[in-house]
Amino acid sequence: MNYRWGSEDSRYGIIHCQSCDNLFIAAHFNGDWIAVYPMSTKPVAPEIPDPTKSEYNEACLCFTIGAYRGCIVMCMTALESMWRAQGCSGLKDLKDKDIISGSLYNRSNEVRYWAGAIKHEQPTAPTREDTEELLSYAENVLYNVYVEPIRFEALKKKREEQKKK
């Protein structure tokens, strides 16, 4: 059973999830119900080092609470942290050193464009859909740089060990 309360402008509800059988509190904003407690965020891969990991985690938290401008800016902050950790001067340098592909460069550059517009041009708020796409672009770059090489090496090592047996 679901319970709802609040005014027309701000409505909250205790919602029963049919998938996991748990209860959560949701708020109704702009026609969408969004979980506000407990906040569900996607876990950040442990292979991503700090401070990049904490910055990307903050971007995910911003997305969860509907702070879409903050999410996009934190995505860019995480990418900046990552390129500095790689000893690069920017996204183009990452591409030129073959740390990221041309496709990932284009996606990460789109995050940069949006973050720049948000910080300097003060546009209307980005949509949930646009923000989710940009968040996934940042995630793809971070996974490509940090997670995939580690997991690939582990899988390769496992195969080589099995070959020895």
Same domain? For 72 and 107 the reply is yes
* Structure confidence by residue, pLDDT tens digits, 135-162: 999 999 999 999 999 999 999 999 999 9
Domain count, the chain: 2
Name the residue range of residue 24's domain: 3-37
Position 121: which residue type?
Answer: E
List the CATH number of the domain containing 62.
1.20.120
Cis peptide leading into residue 149 (ω within 30°) = no
Same domain? For 13 and 58 the reply is no
* 32 contacts: CB under 8 Å, gap ≥ 6: 128
> Is residue 31 one of the residues assigned to a domain?
yes
Ranges under pLDDT 50 in the chain: 1-2, 4-6
- What's the chain's Rg over C-alpha atoms? 19
Whole-model pTM: value is 0.74
Same domain? For 61 and 23 the reply is no
